[in-house]
A and B are shown apart, each in its own frame.
Chain A
Amino acid sequence: MNLFNLPHTELLQHLINGLTLGAIYSLIALGYTMVYGILKFINFAHGEILMLGAYAGYFLYYFLCEGSQTGGFAIIAFVISLIFAMLISSFLGVIIERIAYRPLRKAPRLAPLLSAIGVSIILMNLAALFFGTKSRKFDYPFDNTALQLGNISVTPNQIMILIVGIILMASLKLFIDKTRLGKAMRATSQNQAVASLMGINVNFIISLTFAIGSALAAVAGIFMSMEFKLYPTMGQMAGLKAFIAAVVGGIGNISGAMLGGILLGLLETFGVVIIGIPQGLKDTIAFSVLIIILLFRPSGLLMKNIREKV
């Protein structure tokens, strides 16, 4: 199959699928980019925060409505579970930063990175121990029969992901650009020492960054377990790809992370249907993009190239 004999309705269909996937990547990428912006290191455990948030939401949802229900109560239960998942993830993010990253803030660069990898592995395997390795599926709290718009079918789930994704990203952007706390975050990412001299509580800002990033990851985690599946290693690959999305957009750049996520989602969807990359090699697309971007535009699409100051 190639681009030319693909009917345009089908193209539109893939566009919607790609956007949905992209919105999920964007939500995860935001967490990476915010943490990188402030601490200049990759929070390797971000994917596991996502996974644990998803499990938290899943268990609460099933506790509340014993699964496989739809309708009013299920939707309320779903919203409660979503918020619960965000809280759990935020809490985890903040705790992980306290325990595993804060003691290493002045250490050589390799140290926090290795520590983060360690945290990621611990959480992933603990989840496998306690929740089992089998995949679960988060049932839809609503009737997920696809809606037919002309020849395109869109599931209510996809619509929800897109809408919630856009709302969350827009509010984050507003928060960072317009509020005092947002300004404090930007100041901290520019220069921690000066920010603390200006009366900003740097530790609080860092915790806040982890909390927000982790909450967004939890939402992405729940979306992923509805659209795809829920399993202990789900965060690993999703996290990596979202990180790539953040790099594509220019790491440390909020709009860049959103753009990068959407681009990567589209690229993966179209890479499979148009270029005909085998499904099994789908993940390879993201990594190839990463290596190409890093080679030709190492600071991402939206950032200026910066040389190290001598």
Chain B
Amino acid sequence: MPLLYTQNLRREFGGVVAVSDVSIEIFKNTITGIIGPNGAGKTTLFNTITGLDYPTGGFVFFKGEDIIPLPAYQITRKGIARTFQNIRLFKEMTVFENVMIGRHFRGNHPKFTSNKYLNFIMGRIFVAREERDIYFNSLKWLEFFDLLNVRDEYAKNLPYGKQRELEIARALATEPDMLFLDEPAAGMNPQETEELMGTIKKIRDLGITVVLIEHDMKLVMNICDKIIVLNYGRKIAEETPDDVQNNPEVIEAYLGKSDE
């Protein structure tokens, strides 16, 4: 059974159909690329799956459970983390704090201290344990992305590429089963993109299923196990990179109809 699948997922804005009856399947431990021309509905598809937007029809099943009724924060807690196309870091917080936020609901604390006010009365010891867990776990992710030396910088002061990495680190800190990356290579130079490809593979090797929207074809074709192509909100292909490259409908969507 796929880890996540959608059935006829649909999102309309007024009369405009942004996502039109899209059914996709994503299997565990794979890297899936979502491509398509601008305005094809890729980000809207992401948003409806991760709960930041609501679909006007269809279903999303994650680990066999319908997650459409859940608010965004609940979906994250179920194990779906994401990044944003236009980087949304907590700008006036430090790099370290950004990652610590990711561990917000994963503190390894006894059940009864999850209540913040009780914690105060129950004494510092439980908060201390929770904080320690958050601290060391966040350190791990900073190390993974080589962000340790800038951990006390404000997020807004990082260079662009580092900000993208920090956003991924923050998402990974939630210990997701699935990671949705919205254009992770946007604005990166070829060398940074190269490193990113390695990073994404490493993330997959940690047992995390990756779904990414990307315009960089080299990246997509190199690391994805499967590619989903959207055009005008419709899914026009869901196949291996090799097949996609030879799919006439996909070529047409990208290059326009050839005059035969």
Contacts and interface: CB of A to CB of B under 8 A. Distances in A.
A310 interface: yes
A307 B53 CA distance: 9
B94 interface: no
Interface string A264-307: 00000000000000000000000000000000000000000001
A310 B84 CA distance: 8
By secondary structure, the B interface counts as: loop
Contacts, number: 6
A310 B44 CA distance: 9
Contacts of A307: 53
Contacts of A310: 43, 47, 52-53, 84
A310 B47 CA distance: 8
A187 B59 CA distance: 39
A307 to B, nearest CB: 7
Nearest to A308: B52
B45 to A, nearest CB: 12
A307 B18 CA distance: 15
A129 B86 CA distance: 50
A74 B43 CA distance: 66
Nearest to B91: A108
Interface in B43-57: 43, 47, 52-53
A107 to B, nearest CB: 12
A307 B13 CA distance: 11
A307 B52 CA distance: 10
A109 to B, nearest CB: 13
A307 B72 CA distance: 15
Interface string A28-65: 00000000000000000000000000000000000000
B16 to A, nearest CB: 14
Contacts of B43: 310
Contacts of B53: 307, 310
Interface of B: 43, 47, 52-53, 84
Interface of A: 307, 310
- 6 nearest A-B residue pairs (beta carbon): A310-B52, A310-B47, A310-B53, A310-B84, A310-B43, A307-B53
6 contacts: A307-B53, A310-B43, A310-B47, A310-B52, A310-B53, A310-B84
